[in-house]
Amino acid sequence: MEEKQIAEIDARIAPIFRAVDAYGDFILALQENSWFRNHVKNLDFILATQENSWFRNYVYNIIYSFCENVVHWSGQLSAKNDYLLSKILGKVGEDELSLKIFRLTMTDPNAFNEFSINDACQILECGQVLIIAIREDGGKPNTIVFNKLLDVFVDIAKFIVDEPSIDPLAKRDLIDNLKAKFEPFRVTDHRAQQPNAEPADHGALGAAKTLDISLTELDGLIGLESVKREVRSLVNLMRVRELRRQSGLPSPEVTLHLVFTGNPGTGKTTVARLFADICRALGVLTGGHLVEVDRAGLVGGYVGQTALKTQQVIASAISGVLFIDEAYSLTRSNSDNDYGMECISNLLKAMEDHREELIVIVAGYTEPMQSFLASNPGLRSRFTKQVHFPDYGSDELRRIFHHIVDINGYQLSEGAAEAARARIAAIYERKGDNFGNAREMRTLFEDVVQAQANRLVLQTAMFPSSFRCLKALISVNRVTRVWL
């Protein structure tokens, strides 16, 4: 790489390394603190040694392993990512052997069958226990230092997958998945919620958007006209409520907890994320971040675990939006060993205790969500607004498909565009009750790209323009269409 490229990479990863170093220094300082030693117990995992470099090296080892998994997920060992891994190994103090072994495993598609983040979660869980223990024992926790370490994992994943050849939708899914897994470990410093305190730092969740930007993004979504009207109506309600407050008039309390109903792939998560941005821009929420979970992130397998998991997720969502996908799964069983109702009880209590600083959105298929609301009287009283996400029409699906093609750097030939129109019309005609909508279009795009790859490998010469063009060979009777 050129010196300019190396300098740019160093500038991007420097804040990540500073966050790791700061957390290591924080732990080492606590080791020498007599109050800490007298009050915080059972943290031998964190305080295993007095060696100054031990803990920091331990964290860098975990980050290196985390990076390896993300690179394997993306299939992209670029010069940029190779340089990043080398820099982390230098921090750990190891030689190039580990990196050489990793380069070899990149050629083996079966080297990593699953993307694992267990080590990262383990260190975050221990850090969370440490911070909470200090706070409860009267000490002064530095939650910002810990939360910056938490943000490191999402930041570094964004850096690794910042490659043009990776599907942007897949990138977003990966980052959203990581945020959902790591957010429960975030620790809220309740002092930050005092009137004169600084706003909470949500680091990797990105820079705050203005209201105009968020509404422009909302309007730019394909279809969903009824959903946009509902959101705009809520925006007007929040605006007028704030104007009344500023004028010294009574500001009636309104609930902003929402139920999103509809089939998969209709944009429920995307709209929830924009709604969180809008609420922050209007001053309704100070954080405006979105924490996305499902049943697995809330419900435990034994007595006492569910309450703890639910409370951790709720704590991570304070000052933001908690988005629970397939919420009806919380009431899917009447078994004595199912703790979904325990989760709902904790959720309802939190919605009351934090009604000024937490918005909850529950989402899922239309009919099961009605059964979910009927399962507990408290649910219907708190979720009074429902927004239905209709299936996309054939023309809207075609626009979504073309959008996916464009953002991935491809072009449709005239024949391919005609074949796509016919294929999408056929998909729409045979759609069932649980139609996948935009997900169906992503699947179609993947099929087309696979067919293109099969065509290109048979050519004796390939040019850059060949990689961009998607074609379709249409048969004489114009019924059978073979993607090339």
Q: Of 392, 393, 405, nearest to 447 (Cα)?
A: 405
d(CA 74, CA 97): 22
Residue with tokens 């629970």: 324
The reported pTM is 0.56
Q: Is 434 exposed, middle or buried (0-12, 13-18, 19+ CB in 10 A)?
A: exposed
pLDDT digits (tens, 9 = 90+) for 70-104: 888 877 788 888 888 888 887 776 666 666 666 66
pLDDT digits (tens, 9 = 90+) for 275-320: 998 998 888 888 888 999 888 888 877 766 788 888 888 988 888 9
Distances (CA, A) of 21 to 27, 31, 36: 10, 15, 20
How is the chain split into domains, by residue range?
Answer: 3-166, 207-389, 394-483
**DSSP-derived secondary structure for 272-316:** HHHHHHHHHHTTS-SS--EEEE-HHHH--SSTTHHHHHHHHHHHH
d(CA 88, CA 30): 25
d(CA 200, CA 190): 10
Res 190: pLDDT: 43
pLDDT digits (tens, 9 = 90+) for 33-51: 655 555 555 455 455 544 5
Percentage of the residues of the chain whose pLDDT score is greater than 90: 17
User: What fold is seen in the domain 394-483?
Assistant: Helicase, Ruva Protein; domain 3 (1.10.8)
Res 358: pLDDT: 92
Per the CB < 8 A criterion, the answer to whether 264 and 431 are in contact is: no
Cβ neighbors of 336 (< 8 A, separation 6 or more) are none
pLDDT digits (tens, 9 = 90+) for 181-223: 888 887 765 443 333 333 344 333 334 467 888 888 888 899 9
What letter represents residue 35's amino acid?
A: W
d(CA 121, CA 70): 15
User: Other C-beta atoms within 10 Å of 93: how many?
Assistant: 10
pLDDT digits (tens, 9 = 90+) for 239-259: 888 888 777 888 777 789 999
User: Other C-beta atoms within 10 Å of 212: how many?
Assistant: 9
Give the end-to-end CA distance of the chain in Å, rounded to a whole number: 36
If you ran DSSP here, which 8-state letter would residue 185 be given?
G
| Token representation of residue 103 | 């380069």
| Token representation of residue 6 | 């190396």
d(CA 280, CA 319): 9
d(CA 118, CA 66): 9
207-389 maps to which CATH number? 3.40.50.300
